[in-house]
């Protein structure tokens, strides 16, 4: 998952009862699989404004697939055509995750550096901005209201109630600025959109590459339309069967594991800015100083950093992983001299600055519209929330829980209990073999997520572990890249039990 709150959404871009996975639920989305009968038949391709060597267009689709003759929106699409038409295999639909990342930008701006020549030669690489994201009728919320978010670490029932009240107010504000699409931003709706896109492209079967939250799109497409897949490669996989407690605890454990991977790297690497020191002690002392309001933001010295903000900044560096940069950052904060003017009160919650936009009244903010409709996680009171937080913190004592998932779960407090796309065990019956890759030490999506998805779909999926660290997988090594490329082009599947060795970091 990218990737939560504003910082997490920009960087990349879960059961009511703790410890209980939600059962599957029948969906109106699956009542009809003939998407093409209700949609625009073709895409009017034109050179992309940002890069004329690629093509961009839109596809008009229903906002609510249960009411196909109702309101519509324009799905933004980008394409890079196969550079060797004589060897063309078909289309490769791509999604880089989030929720909130742009598939159009990925296809237009990133595909040439992300994928190797063979993939570019043999596939039309097609990206789309999921509904509510980017140029596909983005979810928008009042900029001023977004700035007023209270702490996602409420200390008592009164603070919990204030957070729930804020979340309800923000939800209504975003609905007002976005319109009906806000209530249909869930991944099952995206899956229907993707199949309509397949039809508009004139393809009987698609190939798909999904990363992080993009794997949930792939998994659920395979459930709904498995017989319309030629190949599907998924990296950094989402397990959509987890209840609240498992989701929080496993996410925290992933972050904590990456912290320990960093400590081990620093112990054995002389170039580490903290080499030769007790890195864990340095870290714990730094967070304790932040709790006392002693650590200033190097980029804005008038601001103080909270321990949670520092942990989040470090967590994002685990994604690479960018160990050298991380060590230098921690060493620099640790070197700050005690400030005689240090604040005696508890540091208030840090908020990342909201992006500048032409429309200063609203800000694009799709994350919660997607996440809170895909995951039924609604702590009912502070006691339940505190129990979840204690379990999360116990799994990650040095990272103080999950810097990413904690604010995501907090953002759904106060939302309606019913969700469009509740968690369930994955059931794939018609799809061909699907290739899954996952880092053994992924900081965001715990390796057990991939293992659990594989167990649920053992007859359909093949899991290839990457034995190293980091959230990205495909370009980690020749092994990971060749496994995906050979599968997409030649339908070659890695043998059961194989894995890719860890590559160097930085």
Q: Specify whether the CB–CB gap between 450 and 433 falls below 8 A.
A: no
pLDDT tier at 14, thresholds 50, 70, 90: very low
Residue 308: predicted pLDDT: 96
Measured in degrees and rounded to the nearest 5, phi and psi for residue 59 equal: -130, 120
Residue 455: predicted pLDDT: 97
State the average pLDDT over residues 222-239.
Answer: 98
Please determine, for residue 17, whether its predicted confidence score (pLDDT) is greater than 50: no
Residue 375: predicted pLDDT: 97
pLDDT > 90 in the chain, percent:
86
Strands (DSSP E) contained in 68-116 are 72-80, 90-95
DSSP 227: G
Location of structure tokens 């983005």: 138
Could you tell me the residue ranges of all domains in the chain? 5-135+187-243+422-490
Residue 359: predicted pLDDT: 54
- Nearest CA-CA partner of 311 in 256, 253, 348: 256
For the chain, the average pLDDT equals 90
- The verdict on pTM exceeding 0.75 is yes
pLDDT tier at 11, thresholds 50, 70, 90: very low
- With H, G, I as helix, E, B as strand and everything else as coil, classify residue 434: strand
- Nearest CA-CA partner of 119 in 167, 84, 68, 163: 84
The CA distance from 97 to 10, in Å, is 12
**Gap between the terminal Cα atoms of the chain:** 22
Which three-class secondary structure string do you get for 261-303?
HHHHHHHHCCCCCCCCCCHHHHHHHHHHHHHCCCCEECCEEEE
H or E segment to which residue 450 belongs: helix 447-456
- Nearest CA-CA partner of 16 in 276, 206, 243, 179: 243
pLDDT tier at 360, thresholds 50, 70, 90: confident
Residue 339: predicted pLDDT: 67
Please determine, for residue 13, whether its predicted confidence score (pLDDT) is greater than 50: no
pLDDT tier at 39, thresholds 50, 70, 90: low
Residue 338: predicted pLDDT: 82
Question: Please, what is the Cα angle at 131 between 418 and 13, to 5 degrees?
Answer: 85
Architecture of domain 5-135+187-243+422-490: 3-Layer(aba) Sandwich (3.40)
Per the structure block, which two tokens stand in for 459? 């007859």
Q: What is the pLDDT of residues 106-163, one digit of tens each?
A: 999 999 999 999 999 999 999 999 999 999 999 999 999 999 999 999 999 999 999 9
Residue 36: predicted pLDDT: 45
Please determine, for residue 40, whether its predicted confidence score (pLDDT) is greater than 60: yes
Please determine, for residue 171, whether its predicted confidence score (pLDDT) is greater than 60: yes
Least confident of 259-273, 287-301, 430-444, 492-506: 492-506
- With H, G, I as helix, E, B as strand and everything else as coil, classify residue 467: strand
Which phi-psi region, left, alpha or beta, contains residue 293 (left: φ > 0; alpha: ψ -120 to 50)? left
Q: What is the pLDDT of residues 85-116, one digit of tens each?
A: 999 999 999 999 999 999 999 999 999 999 99
Residue 505: predicted pLDDT: 60
Beta strands 90-95 and 123-128 are: parallel
State the average pLDDT over residues 333-349.
Answer: 64
Residue 213: predicted pLDDT: 97
Per the structure block, which two tokens stand in for 50? 């940002």
Q: What is the pLDDT of residues 246-256, one digit of tens each?
A: 999 999 999 99
Per the structure block, which two tokens stand in for 473? 């997988």
């Amino acid at each position: 998952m990218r990737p939560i709150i504003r910082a997490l959404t920009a960087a990349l871009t879960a059961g009511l009862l703790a410890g209980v996975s939600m059962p599957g639920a029948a969906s109106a989305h699956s009542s009809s699989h003939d998407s093409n009968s209700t949609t625009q038949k073709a895409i009017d391709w034109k050179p992309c404004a940002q890069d004329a060597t690629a093509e961009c267009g839109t596809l008009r689709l229903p906002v609510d697939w249960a009411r196909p003759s109702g309101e519509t929106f324009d799905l933004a699409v980008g394409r890079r055509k196969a550079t060797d038409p004589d060897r063309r295999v078909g289309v490769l639909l791509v999604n880089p995750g989030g929720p909130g990342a742009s598939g159009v930008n990925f296809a237009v701006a990133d595909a040439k550096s992300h994928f190797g020549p063979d993939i570019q030669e043999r596939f039309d690489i097609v990206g789309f901005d999921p509904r509510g994201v980017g140029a596909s009728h983005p979810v928008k919320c009042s900029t001023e209201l977004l700035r007023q978010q209270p702490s996602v670490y409420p200390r008592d029932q009164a603070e919990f109630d204030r957070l729930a009240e804020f979340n309800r107010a923000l939800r209504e504000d975003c609905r007002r600025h976005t319109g009906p699409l806000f209530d249909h931003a869930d991944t099952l709706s995206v899956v229907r959109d993707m199949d309509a896109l397949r039809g508009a492209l004139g393809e009987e079967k698609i190939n798909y590459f999904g990363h992080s939250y993009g794997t949930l799109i792939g998994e659920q497409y395979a459930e709904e339309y498995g017989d319309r897949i030629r190949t599907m490669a998924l990296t950094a996989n989402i397990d959509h069967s987890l209840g609240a407690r498992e989701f929080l605890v496993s996410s925290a454990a992933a972050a904590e594991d990456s912290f320990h991977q960093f400590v081990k790297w620093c112990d054995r690497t002389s170039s580490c800015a903290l080499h030769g020191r007790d890195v864990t002690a340095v870290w714990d002392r730094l967070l304790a100083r932040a709790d006392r309001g002693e650590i200033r933001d190097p980029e804005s010295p008038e601001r103080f950093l909270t321990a949670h903000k520092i942990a989040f900044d470090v967590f994002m560096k685990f994604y690479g992983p960018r160990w050298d940069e991380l060590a230098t950052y921690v060493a620099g904060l640790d070197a700050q001299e005690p400030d005689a003017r240090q604040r005696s009160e508890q540091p208030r919650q840090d908020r990342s600055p909201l992006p500048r936009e032409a429309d200063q009244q609203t800000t694009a903010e799709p994350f919660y519209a997607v996440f809170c409709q895909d995951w039924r996680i609604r702590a009912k009171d502070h006691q339940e929330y505190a129990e979840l937080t204690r379990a999360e913190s116990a799994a990650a004592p040095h990272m103080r829980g999950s810097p990413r998932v904690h604010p995501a779960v907090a953002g759904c407090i106060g939302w309606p209990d019913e969700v469009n796309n509740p968690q369930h065990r994955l059931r794939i019956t018609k799809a061909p073999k699907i290739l899954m890759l996952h880092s053994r030490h992924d900081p965001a999506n715990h390796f057990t997520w991939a293992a659990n998805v594989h167990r649920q779909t053992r007859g359909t999926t093949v899991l290839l572990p990457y034995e190293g660290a980091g959230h990205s997988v495909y370009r980690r090594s020749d092994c990971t890249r060749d496994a995906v490329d050979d599968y997409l082009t030649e339908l070659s599947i890695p043998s059961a039990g194989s894995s890719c060795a860890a590559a160097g970091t930085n």
